[in-house]
Amino acid sequence: MFINFILIAVSIFAALSTFVVNNYFNQGPVKSSAILSLIVGLFFFTFPHLGSDYLAIKVPLIFFGASFVGMSSSQTFQHWRETVIAGAIFGFIFINTSQFFTGFGGGLGTTALLSVLMTISLIKIFTVCHCFFTSRGF
């Protein structure tokens, strides 16, 4: 349970840090994802026994995948909180479905796409419900 919490936290951090480097430091989506993923990957390659073997394998993988979420433009996610939600969704999906993508290419990108689409859908649903209830005087 604690390991899942760590993986979701890493996923949120990866999405948010990539989003910030991409949109606020104007480094571009690919460069932002690549630089941050390289730093995390090299860290765990250099210090593989710092934590458990499971985390040494999964943290760079989930960081790389969640950085795809952070590659979204500021037009897609207009506030950093939306990126946090998408990062958390990515972590949850990754933890619960990663065994199904073993041996297939594109699993991280597909999971990132699903996370972004789910977050956009949740934002739209929340906006519509909020407008509906506000106009009705609730």
Q: At what angle do helices 2-23 and 53-70 cross, to 10 degrees?
A: 30
Contact indicator for 16, 72 with CB cutoff of 8 Å: no
Residue with tokens 């934002």: 123
pTM for this entry:
0.90
pLDDT tens profile 5-39 = 999 999 999 999 999 999 999 999 999 999 999 99
What average pLDDT does this structure show over 27-54?
93
**DSSP track, 58-89:** HHHHHHHHHHHHHT--TTT-SSHHHHHHHHHH
- The ranges assigned to domains in the chain are 2-135
For the stretch 89-113, pLDDT in tens is 999 999 998 676 666 678 889 899 9
